Amino acid sequence: MIFRKNQRHKQRGATLLVGMIMLVVLTLLVVFAIRSGNTNLKIAGNMQVQTEASAAVQQSIEKIIEDIKLVENFTLINTADAKYQPSASGNAAYVVTIEPLKKCKVESPVLNASLDPTKPGDVPCFESPDADKAIKADGSLTTTLSACKNQQWDIEASVTDVNSGAKVTQVQGISIRVPATVDCL
């Protein structure tokens, strides 16, 4: 019995030391879990801001495309000062800046042979055919050109979130049929 009593006296400080080490380890695990949770929350918030900003930019580009469809001379659309606030989710409103329509990228003539008189979009192209003819790769002339041509334009829009500093820029190309008199700037 004396032997056991001496053994207990030797272990008195070991229990306290092991308990303190376990407490420190658990505290570090809790601190790590809280920091990890905060980081994940910030990542999710940034992804939400980026998604909302992308949606705002896309909606603004679609608004410009609708404006282009409604006017006869879309080169007169002034987008340099255009600020669209297409959506507001919660307290965040995104002001999207549309770059001016500077220059068409590609232009191609529409041939009379490719037009269909039953399609309403093709009818204006029959009204006053151009006397010029396009030249094929082999040097021969094609059929006469119509009063229309196809042009491809790029629309660039961007938004910067004032709170997070996130910036989204999108460029979307459009192909539009225009009168033959509209030049590719």
Please report, for the chain, the start and end positions of each structural domain, with discontinuous segments joined by +. 37-179
- Model pLDDT, residue 81: 46
Concatenate the DSSP letters of all residues of 99-120 into one string: PP---EEEEEEEEGGG--TTST
Report yes or no on whether pTM surpasses 0.85: no
Q: What distance in Å separates the CA atoms of residue 167 and residue 18, rounded to the nearest whole number?
A: 52
**What proportion of the chain, given as a percentage, has pLDDT over 70?**
71
62-111: per-residue pLDDT in tens?
888 887 777 766 666 766 545 555 455 555 577 888 877 767 788 888 87
Mean pLDDT across the stretch 32-45?
Answer: 91
Q: For residues 74 and 148, which has the higher predicted lDDT (pLDDT)?
A: 148
Pairing of strands 96-98, 83-84: antiparallel
